[in-house]
Structure 1
Amino acid sequence: MNTNPFSSLPAFRHAFNTGLSAMLKNGGLGPFILVCANASFDQEIQTATSTALSTLYESLKTSFGNALEEGRTLQEVEEDLLVFLKINAIGLDKLKSTENRTEDKWTLQFNHLRAFRPKRITTTIPPGIRADFDDNGFHFNKGFMQKEAFWAGEVADKSTTLYYNKYPFVDFHGLLVPEREKCHPQYQTEAFNSYMWALTQELAQTLPGVGFGYNSLGAFASVNHLHFQMYVRPAGMPVMHPDWQHNGGTDAYPTSVTVCLTAQDAWHAIERLHQLEIPYNLLYTPGKLYLFPRKKQGTYPQPAWTSGFTWYEMAGGMISFNRDDYEKLNTQTISQELAQLAITA
């Protein structure tokens, strides 16, 4: 796990894909769901893992069925059992592959399996944008989570753990947890802002299109344990399109966005939102941070086609779980939903 996978995009892809295959061979419910979701998202992974996934699925189904029939307790994570139950309700072969299309500047995605994921703390309205780390809640130090780690080691002079995202919605989707064992809450600091700025710059030298998303509490963070969502997307996110006014173009972006060109400016903007208790999403790209101050989750009417606007949606990527919704989404609807989240800070 400590071999550096960041030397090139082919090296990263190889490590990412082979890690999933190895995880599947070791078996278990959590790894099954994780590989299943990544396979439904990526055709290359699907091709490489389909036979092993089907075999493990049948094994788990038989094992769980026998245990329930005999009245024995299932020694599994409840969240994973619920997701498996949902998959089993329709059958593994009925899971649909992820689809993507563009609408004007926007990126739209139909992601069937992501609809099955647990909601965790995103279903509540938090009183503020900071809360103490809760060892009794979900966090990345849980023993079962270590099976889902992609890589651990030092990068940009800091100890980090990179997990696979169990329900991916962007290429090479990972969860980067700096100083995991120190149990930092999901609350950005000047030191970690500087770290993410430097890390993005460093990784961009070998991974073109690398970026990191961040959700504050109140902006659909699902885990109160400091983490950043890594992806590799050479085409960039829609918010990075040169036609937007914040990038020097003429088109107005439909929600609030601040562009910061230095780590210091980025921290000043973040710190001001902290002082005002305004939730926000972040997108770190090489040499540029996109900051989205926004209304707190649960305080506005949310459309049925989305489970919530995270950093990905704020940056112009829309996810739906129903094919009809996916096909009907258009620029007007997207702009209206983004506009209702706008806040001036």
Structure 2
Amino acid sequence: MLTIKRVETVVSMHQQLEQVPGCGRDCLGNCCIPGAKLPLYTFGIKQTLGSNKRAHTSSDDHCVPGDVGDFNDYEADDSPQENYFLDELLLAQWEDRMVRGLFRYDVTACETKMLPGEYGFIAQLNEGRHLQKRPTEFRVDQVLQPFDPKKFNFTKVGQEEILFQFGPSEDNVSEFYEKAPVLSSPNVVAINVSPIEYGHVLLVPRVLDRLPQRIDQDSFLLALYMAAEANNPYFRLGYNSLGAFATINHLHFQAYYLAAPFPIERAPTTRVSYGRKKGGVKVYELSKFPVRGLVFEMCNSLEDLSVAVANACVYLQNNNIPYNVLITDRGSRVFVLPQCFAERQARGEVDQEILDTQVNPAVWEISGHIVLKQRKDYDLATEEYAWKLLAEVSLSAERFEEVKAECLKAAFEGPPSDSMAQPPALPNGGSYNLLEKEQAVLIKSNIHKANSMDGVVPNVGEVGVEG
């Protein structure tokens, strides 16, 4: 089994080996990035949409199979899976960084177990994350806060923490370039140096634009593309807003592999009539799950799904409602989960027994993968504990009905034009469109594709939980 060498860190996991131009840390900042080259993965949008398969049937009854041992149980049909390339490349690059000692602890050594019960909540003992994770540096009572360049952000990480740039190709074919010029503000995939699970990475849209942690339609569509391109039911993306346990105010999504269904994926849902035939998106409501939330399902395209979900998220963040998002089923199914744990904690309404565990219920915990920081809590963890923890997160039934109505209105009619949280303007009237001409030109004119990918991807063993 691979082991991870512990390394000292201050701002980044990058260790200076020799003097280089810039600040000496070979970071993503303006001091070091000019002239730099990083790997680039380009994905074909049409190919991605065509190969997407849901992990559940097209009926109204959503059910992720309980048997997690057979990969094919996740398939909605018997057709072969396509587009393994991103999946294999990401894991190979992640393992390379593990061998090079860029993580703060060995997440593969963390104990994990499935709690007995109806839902199969998953508990992990991760004392390293508790001791070494970066502390929150901003207010937890404001979902929207301006970007502060003085605080930690992803332009301060070392370039060796970046697995690759990630963007659409011009010819709808997925390709990988070992060295490519850094785009004006690339989307990047980086390791999470304080991982929760195997393959834990961060997707940072337009990293050099220094966007605060808030969702817009372009950034959310990019996250859906990544889920679809990976094309692996064990790979999910998550998002935490400020106030819902995001710890860095720089726009990012998280993702990792877990070889088991999340309990939230197995929870029963009921159809929400609003928007039944609008926008090519179906909407459901979680029923019999400790956290109340909405489930958006793709019918026609990722673009339709992205517009609906992003509009709902814009409503939440503009109205200062903390929320979490989980992207599953290769990008075709999205859970939107407004929450109020921090607010209840500030009012002294959270049970002290829950507070003593020091668990911050972010997207992974809400989904049913609960990261525990203390041995005693791990040893005593039960499904009843998990249910009690998550019940403290949820909006009341009455409050949720109000929020649900406004989210659906925003999803299918759009939030009021004056309430849209727009990112700051780019210089010279630039655009944030994912298909920027500049990107296509750079890809075609300045990049030389690797002659062969043979040997790049090592054999990847089993991933996920034990027991």
TM-score normalised per structure 1: 0.72
Distance 1:148 1:119 in 2: 16
Q: In 2, distance between residues paired with 1:249 and 1:340?
A: 19
Q: CA deviation at 1:342?
A: 0.9
Tell whether 2:359 aligns with 1:307.
yes
Gaps of 5+ in 1: 25-30, 43-96
Residue 252, structure 1, aligned to residue 288, structure 2: yes
Any conservation in 2 of the 1:125–1:296 contact (CA below 8 Å)? no
Tell me by how many angstroms 1:250 deviates. 9.8
Partner of 2:394: 342
Question: How far is 1:107 from its partner?
Answer: 0.6
Partners of 2:243 and 2:342 within 8 A in 1:
yes
1:129 to 115, 123, 143: 143
1:114 equivalent to 2:144? Answer: no
CA pair 246-221 structure 1, distance change in 2 beyond 3 A: farther
Alignment partner of 2:388: what SS?
helix
Counterpart residue identity of residue 264, structure 2? V
**Aligned-partner Cα distance in 2 for 1:10–1:276:** 40
Name the structure where helix makes up a greater proportion of residues.
1
Report deviation, 1:150. Answer: 2.4
User: Which residue number corresponds to residue 269 of structure 1?
Assistant: 312
Aligned CA RMSD, in angstroms, stands at: 2.7
- 1:255 maps to a residue whose letter is V
Q: Summarize deviations over 1:86-117 as a string: whole Å, max 9, x none.
A: xxxxxxxxxxx301111122011011211112
Q: Answer yes or no: is 1:225 the counterpart of 2:250.
A: yes
SS of the residue corresponding to residue 314 of structure 1 reads helix
Matching of residues 167-186 of structure 1 within 5 Å: 167-186=194-213
Residue number in structure 2 paired with 1:2 = 39
Q: Which amino acid aligns with 1:159?
A: P
Cα distance in 1 for partners of 2:169, 2:358 equals: 35
After superposition, the Cα gap between the structure-2 partners of 1:251 and 1:292, relative to the gap in structure 1 and judged at 3 Å, is: closer
Q: Matched residues in 2 for 1:332 and 1:156: separation?
A: 48
CA separation in 2, counterparts of 1:329 and 1:337? Answer: 11
- The alpha-carbon deviation at position 166 of structure 1 amounts to 1.1
- TM-score, structure 2 normalization: 0.54
* Structure 2: 5+ residue stretches without partners: 1-37, 43-83, 171-184, 272-283, 298-304, 404-467
| 1:101 matches 2:113 | yes
Identity %: 21
Contact 1:2/1:152 (<8 A) preserved: yes
Q: More relative contact order in 1 or in 2 (CA 8 Å, sep 6+)?
A: 2
- Partners of 1:133 and 1:212 lie apart in 2 by 23
2:154 match: secondary structure = coil
Partner of 2:340: 295
2:230 counterpart residue number: 203
For the residues of structure 1 that align with 2:390 and 2:186, how far apart are their CA atoms?
36
Whichever of the two has the greater Rg, that structure is 2
Once the two structures are superposed, residues 178-221 of structure 1 have per-residue CA deviations (whole angstroms, 9 ceiling, x without a partner) of 110011110111222222223322222xx442221100000011
Counterpart CA distance in 2 for 1:249 and 1:219 is: 20
Aligned to 2:90: 12
Residues 1:152 and 2:165 aligned together: yes
Name the SS for the 1:2 alignment partner: strand
Do the aligned partners of 2:339 and 2:394 also contact (CA within 8 Å) in 1? yes
* CA–CA distance in structure 2, aligned partners of residues 219 and 99 of structure 1: 26
TM-aligned CA deviation for residue 273 of structure 1: 1.4
1:140 deviation in Å?
A: 0.5
Residue 166 (structure 1) aligns with: 193
* Number of aligned positions between the proteins: 274
| Deviation of 1:266 (Å) | 1.4
CA contact (8 A) 1:212 1:283 kept: yes
Among residues 146, 151, 155, which one is paired with 1:141 in the alignment? 155
